Structure 1
Amino acid sequence: MAGVRSAGSYQEEVAPNLLSVRVIRARNIPWADWTSNADCYVCLWLPTATNEHSRTKTIANSSNPVWEETFQFKICGNVKNVMHLTLHDEDTISQNDALYTVLFDVGNVPIGKALRKTFLLNSKGKEDLEVEFKMQTIPSRPEKLLTNSVLVSREVSCLEVCIDKQKIPEHLHGKGLVLTVKNSGQKTHKMMLNPVDVPNHIESRCFHCIKKWEPELIANIEDVITIKDSPYGTLTVPLQSLSVGKEEKVELYASPAKPLELKLSAKDCTQKLDIRLGFDICSEEKNFLHKRSKVIAAALKKVLKLDRDLKEHEIPLIAITTTGGGTRAMTSLYGTLSGLKKLNLLDCVSYITGASGSTWAITKLYEDAEWSQKDLAVPIEDARRNVTKNKSSAFSLDRLSFYRDELNKRAEQGYKTSFTDFWGLLIESMFHDGVNETKLSDQQKALVRGQNPLPLCLAMNVKHIENTTVDFKEWCEFSPYEVGLLKYGAFIRSEQFGSEFFMGRLTKRLPESRICYLQGLWSNIFSISLMDAWYAAVSSDNFWHRFTRDNIQDLDGEEALRKKRTSPNLTSRLVKPAGLFGNTVREMLTNRPIDGEHHNFLKGFQIHKDYCQHKGFVAWEDTQLDNCPNQLTPSTEELCLVDSAYYINASFPPLLRKERKVDIILSFDYGLTGQFQSVEQTHSYCTQQDISFPKIELSKKDLENPKECHVFTNSGKPDVPVILHFPLVNDTFREFKAPGVKRSPEEMEDGVVPLSGMFTPYNLLNLTYNEQSFNQLLNLAEYNVQNSEELILQTLRDAIAQKQKSWTGTTD
């Protein structure tokens, strides 16, 4: 194996191996029903070697079936090859029952030696499955892999299938041509055999395949009866039989009449990826930070009254993080930014992150490339007008017709449309004047000189069904430059989000989405499942979780179990399905009927054999599926992206990437209850993941009467950011309309902001405020920042001193 390392990713060359799996027998399999023994067969699945499942013959009515069948798989040793061996009971009436599934890491099979394994299927009984594995090298050209030690991109071939619409035989008009390459990213395409006008009269379809899988094309014409050993109706072409880079013609007969001519072209895809593999921030972001540092240095000199310019290594990296909360979060964020602007602190900030409703304000502001350099009165007035206007017109028949047309247009472009898209269009109608044509990548204009903070919006990738958010969640960040899943160190250009990828190559480019569709994604709380709602309500899912989850047991023995704390990547596991009733209940409880599915830009990637040891992956892995590589996101067709706020209503994760080196986080919590919940939950999460985050220590007084700002720090640990947490509280604002300026008796009513109670105007589902409610919330958020000026300034001074101290220690 040879490796050439570069920034973030590197190349490995690996020769393939041949794995032989001999399924020998099973013992003591219990009766399937009251009248007979089980009718057993074993299904083998190794998704890193093929998309197809293999299976043994069925042994009828036997508690001790013997198969003695051998299956072979060509594998790549540098990916995580985990085989699923599932023992089934065949049933001609009902669905075949999966009795047990053994997950076995075949990377532990020694080269040239047979490894015989007896898998215990029941710790309380004598059921077992006996299988023999053998690995051997085969003469073959080494395969070139690209990897970041978590994801692996393998060599890919592309097959293009073309037909000339003018040469379709008349007897085939109106029929459908089905093209299938099972071992490909696309799997199946269908073309209608109608002589319609298309560019150059040529219609084509492409398949992308892992080259070493040796795929084959199967073409058949619908409604043509195929007879065994007959040449009519179907055609099979191994891709290996085609000359790379050369067009070849084949003929598909549906009858003795004129055949359909297909033109096939095979080529090797470039090794260059359209996805950036690596855990570092991108070069554009680094360039932005360098430019932004000059703006920050000038702002800090002014606000702290420094007698000299700060050097770049002395400048603390400051970020704003916000929570969700619908219209409340949007309105409050305008007040927050206004307060920072009036204190001349907005130019000291490098990042601003948002989740859910706070992203509505962020996306609106970044339509103006100079927004933070201007008076915020104009965008605030625009927000006031849109928040206080009647929203009924957004649901008029004309608007509903417009939404339908927009969604149809989006579907024609190739997007997977859903309620999330409809919700985004509603947000646009309610809080924007007319159609907003801006896109996420347009926000790059606001960063070209470092004139504004860099915005980062957060979403969460979950499973569409079968798994709760507790079981599976992955942080997905959106910046004007890139969209990426933090756990995998994989990022695509922001304008490519929604396009189709396979193995890191862009296979179908779609037009970039308008920003409203991303707003719908970032704030789609409607995607919650019943199980997640239960968890959110009672903070416990123990009963239903245990009742519906498959039973997973490690089969490696006590010695391996003792090593689990340092290396969770064990050799084999046993999965006992939850059963028909349990599966039915689980599907009902975990189904997300109103979710947002998007083309998975990680599709096709395989998992590196050492992924569990990579610090970047380990920092963000936190669920049981992270030990089951075949169930991770690269193996799925779609991303299921939802509002992150209903798991942790905060947007910290993008700022906690160690590569960003954030020193100070101004945390603004716009929740009406649990004023410290966002930081407490984040602290708990980070403690479990060993991510740097300060301790959240609160006194009884803090909990009973929260102040406008609370400081959390781990003294003496420069890698841990300082958190200045601003809960949404109505404390001294009751008596002061500005810091140090008391209210007159006539103004006291303005200081009573109804943040609690059944009739508060600020509840999550209320999208319209009257002008007084809007102004009160806006002014409260602005005041709370301004009243904390000295605390913020002292934190800045301390951070600069710490940076200077660390630099001196480094240079010494």
Structure 2
Amino acid sequence: MSASKLQEKEVRIGHSLNKKEEEFVIKRRETVFQSLQKLNIPCSQDAVPHIALLGSGGGQRAMVGLLGSLVQLDKAGLLDCILYLSGVSGSTWCMASLYQEPDWSTKLETVKDRIVERIKGPQVSLTDAMAKLKKYYYGKDFFSLTDLWAAVVVTAYVKEIDEHTLTDQWDHKNPFPIYTVIDKQCKQSIKEKDPWFEISPHEAGYSLTGAFVETCNFGSQFDNGSKKKHQPEMDMLYLQALCGSALADGKEIKKFLLEKIKEFFKHLLPTIQTEMFEEMRKVCSCLFSSKDPKAPPVEKCFQVLMDLMDMNLSVLNVKDPSALDQSIRTTLNKLGGGKHQLIFPIEKLNLADKQAAKRYMKQHTEDVCNNLMKLYGHWFVQCIKNEPMARQRSCMSLWRRSPPKPAKACQSLETRDYEDAGLLLNSPFFSVLRKERNTDLIISLDFSKSDPFTTVKQTAEMCKKLKIPFPEVNIPSEDLEKPKDFYVFKGQNAPTVIHIPLFNVVNCGDDIKTWRKKYHTFQDSYSAEKITDLMEVAGKNISNNREKLKEQIAAAVGKKAHN
């Protein structure tokens, strides 16, 4: 296929950088060059290193930790040395807040104060969250748990509904932002080796495969590489939910989400919009007009949902849910005139067998929701069902005839499911390990909740299998429980990796476990005091190691000049 024909296509298959990113790199290298001069690091313009800063996942801990780290990088005169800023999960919440402000890196102290003032303030009202959820439902082809996660959970931490888009928020004076998720189908497939999916201001696509669409078209429908149906670009609230959809282990995330849904619906009952009641009653009237002139009370549906969520929580906490089960069955039986019966008897539930109990509750929950759907036919019932976290149209569909080919799964399915990259690797290494980005130095900020070396060790193992240059990672056994604040890994023909654990023996002394417990992943949004303390601890990892960072930057310059 000729180059002109390829340009006509809206799906780009290739490993080169997007033209606009190439243009940015040229301009940003000049900024980096000037910064190196100020730091008295000798460097020619040809030897300017490509430095990437990575923020791991970790919920609000990662959001605040990254902000504190960036503030200190700025004070140390090192922020302008950064070419790429890439994040996973909670770190993307910080990024989204920063990039709202044009040229934020030139006035970071002011921007930081605004962000802190917001996240320590009041939460988004549930009325506003409900209105946003309605917009998602009526404005998109696909509605999933990510929409609910965005409106109910993410807003509880970021304290705002950000309806800007990524393409809106781009400014050339800041490091180049890369948000990362993974492709669920590729992750689950043994044959596929590229689940890594990146979203930048210009393109969204598979980092290693080399298959991209313009970010403004991500989620639209494509056929043979050409757009057939446009879907509006996702807003930043949804993007933050997409990137940060798995903050902890499965059991805790279910408990947290169920509690949030309960809180949401309890507020929804007295404040729900009149037109929504009317819509539900119209549906119910059609269903019951022959036998009952009155539609089933909406309040009864809410009661079933409350009981269902309490039942799920009881099973997760290994408590007998029989009374809740009986309440659900009785209510559904009355609403359905005896016709709506649940399939799974409570006798099948075995609390002693956790896996069996999990399977039972999944079946039972779907059964209850299917009954409610028959009665009410309304969207909010779908939120309780086990829907995919985030579903988008497959932008790579039907590119089977044009080499190089995308992953096989991407060619054959109409839709793809994307999820938090932390479910596979809690740091966005693979976004900056793309060969064409020529990364010389990676600064890895690790905000993980437990083992701070998991991300860098996993990356080394994965790179070895994929034959991607990456330094060997060896951690002294004594450091596993008592990590230091600065590690450097080097290898031939591979980027240098600096790895910085958030909590370590330098900034926390012997209280590492205490700090981890204080800032565990699933908890209410941080108080002003906790935000200040965490920013200070994260900032020390930069201020205490300013000279070491300069040394490694200078070494990267020397290595590049030599090569």
TM-score (norm 1): 0.50
Q: Distance between the aligned counterparts of 1:439 and 1:280, measured in 2? A: 24
Equivalent position to 1:520, from 241, 246, 253: 241
Does the aligned pair in 2 maintain the 1:428–1:436 contact within 8 Å?
no
Mapped pair 1:458 → 2:215: no
CA displacement at 1:470 relative to structure 2? 6.3
User: Partner residue of 2:459?
Assistant: 682
Q: Residues 642 and 339 (structure 1 numbering): CA distance in 2 closer, same or farther, change over 3 Å?
A: same
Q: After superposition, give the CA deviation of every residue in 1:110-145 in whole Å (9 maximum; x if it has no partner).
A: xxxxxxxxxxxxxxxxxxxxxxxxxxxxxxxxxxxx
Alignment of 1:161-240 (within 5 A): none
Higher helix share: 2
Q: Distance between the aligned counterparts of 1:499 and 1:528, measured in 2? A: 32
Does the aligned pair in 2 maintain the 1:477–1:484 contact within 8 Å?
yes
Does the aligned pair in 1 maintain the 2:247–2:521 contact within 8 Å?
no
User: Partner residue of 1:408?
Assistant: 137
CA displacement at 1:510 relative to structure 2? 2.4
CA displacement at 1:721 relative to structure 2? 0.4
The secondary structure found in structure 2 opposite 1:369 is coil
User: Partner residue of 1:293?
Assistant: 29
User: Partner residue of 2:60?
Assistant: 327
User: Partner residue of 1:91?
Assistant: none
Does the aligned pair in 2 maintain the 1:672–1:755 contact within 8 Å?
no
CA displacement at 1:800 relative to structure 2? 1.2
The secondary structure found in structure 2 opposite 1:353 is strand
User: Partner residue of 1:369?
Assistant: 102
Aligned Cα root-mean-square deviation (Å): 3.1
Letter in 1 for 2:20: E
Equivalent position to 1:425, from 133, 148, 151: 151
Mapped pair 1:388 → 2:388: no
Which deviates the most, 597-606 or 468-477? 468-477
Letter in 2 for 1:634: Q
User: Partner residue of 1:727?
Assistant: 501
User: Partner residue of 2:286?
Assistant: none
User: Partner residue of 2:484?
Assistant: 707
Alignment of 1:81-480 (within 5 A): 272-304=8-40, 306=42, 310-374=43-107, 376-391=108-123, 394=125, 396=126, 398-411=127-140, 415-426=141-152, 429-432=155-158, 435-444=161-170, 446-447=171-172, 451-463=173-185, 468=188, 474-480=195-201
Alignment of 1:648-797 (within 5 A): 648-714=425-491, 717-718=492-493, 720-734=494-508, 755-756=514-515, 760-797=517-554
Aligned residue pair count? 437
Does the aligned pair in 1 maintain the 2:121–2:159 contact within 8 Å?
no
The secondary structure found in structure 2 opposite 1:506 is strand
Q: Distance between the aligned counterparts of 2:190 and 2:535, measured in 1? A: 35
Letter in 1 for 2:151: L
Higher strand share: 1
The secondary structure found in structure 1 opposite 2:169 is helix
Letter in 2 for 1:668: L
Q: Distance between the aligned counterparts of 1:801 and 1:463, measured in 2? A: 42
Q: Distance between the aligned counterparts of 2:531 and 2:499, measured in 1? A: 23
CA displacement at 1:700 relative to structure 2? 2.2
Q: Distance between the aligned counterparts of 2:22 and 2:138, measured in 1? A: 37
Q: Distance between the aligned counterparts of 1:731 and 1:528, measured in 2? A: 26
Q: After superposition, give the CA deviation of every residue in 1:760-792 in whole Å (9 maximum; x if it has no partner).
A: 231111241122221111101111111111211
Q: Distance between the aligned counterparts of 1:607 and 1:463, measured in 2? A: 22
Q: Residues 635 and 705 (structure 1 numbering): CA distance in 2 closer, same or farther, change over 3 Å?
A: same
Structure 1 residues without counterparts, runs of 5 or longer: 12-145, 147-270, 534-584, 612-616, 618-625, 736-750, 807-812
Q: Residues 788 and 442 (structure 1 numbering): CA distance in 2 closer, same or farther, change over 3 Å?
A: same
Higher relative contact order (CA closer than 8 Å, sequence separation 6+):
2
Does the aligned pair in 1 maintain the 2:129–2:151 contact within 8 Å?
no
Q: After superposition, give the CA deviation of every residue in 1:691-733 in whole Å (9 maximum; x if it has no partner).
A: 111100122233242111100001xx23x00000001124233
Q: After superposition, give the CA deviation of every residue in 1:24-48 in whole Å (9 maximum; x if it has no partner).
A: xxxxxxxxxxxxxxxxxxxxxxxxx
Q: Distance between the aligned counterparts of 1:661 and 1:803, measured in 2? A: 10
Q: After superposition, give the CA deviation of every residue in 1:164-198 in whole Å (9 maximum; x if it has no partner).
A: xxxxxxxxxxxxxxxxxxxxxxxxxxxxxxxxxxx
**Percent identical residues:** 27
The secondary structure found in structure 2 opposite 1:443 is coil
The secondary structure found in structure 1 opposite 2:167 is helix
Which deviates the most, 351-360 or 760-769? 760-769
Does the aligned pair in 1 maintain the 2:503–2:512 contact within 8 Å?
no
The secondary structure found in structure 2 opposite 1:492 is strand
The secondary structure found in structure 1 opposite 2:197 is strand
CA displacement at 1:427 relative to structure 2? 5.2
Q: Distance between the aligned counterparts of 1:355 and 1:383, measured in 2? A: 19
Letter in 2 for 1:601: C
CA displacement at 1:313 relative to structure 2? 1.6
Letter in 1 for 2:46: H
Does the aligned pair in 1 maintain the 2:32–2:48 contact within 8 Å?
yes
TM-score (norm 2): 0.71
User: Partner residue of 1:177?
Assistant: none
The secondary structure found in structure 1 opposite 2:518 is coil
Q: Distance between the aligned counterparts of 1:661 and 1:330, measured in 2? A: 27
Mapped pair 1:595 → 2:324: no
The secondary structure found in structure 2 opposite 1:352 is strand
Does the aligned pair in 2 maintain the 1:410–1:417 contact within 8 Å?
no
Letter in 2 for 1:792: L
Q: Residues 519 and 602 (structure 1 numbering): CA distance in 2 closer, same or farther, change over 3 Å?
A: same
The secondary structure found in structure 2 opposite 1:723 is strand
CA displacement at 1:428 relative to structure 2? 5.8
Q: Residues 701 and 434 (structure 1 numbering): CA distance in 2 closer, same or farther, change over 3 Å?
A: closer
Q: Residues 603 and 733 (structure 1 numbering): CA distance in 2 closer, same or farther, change over 3 Å?
A: same
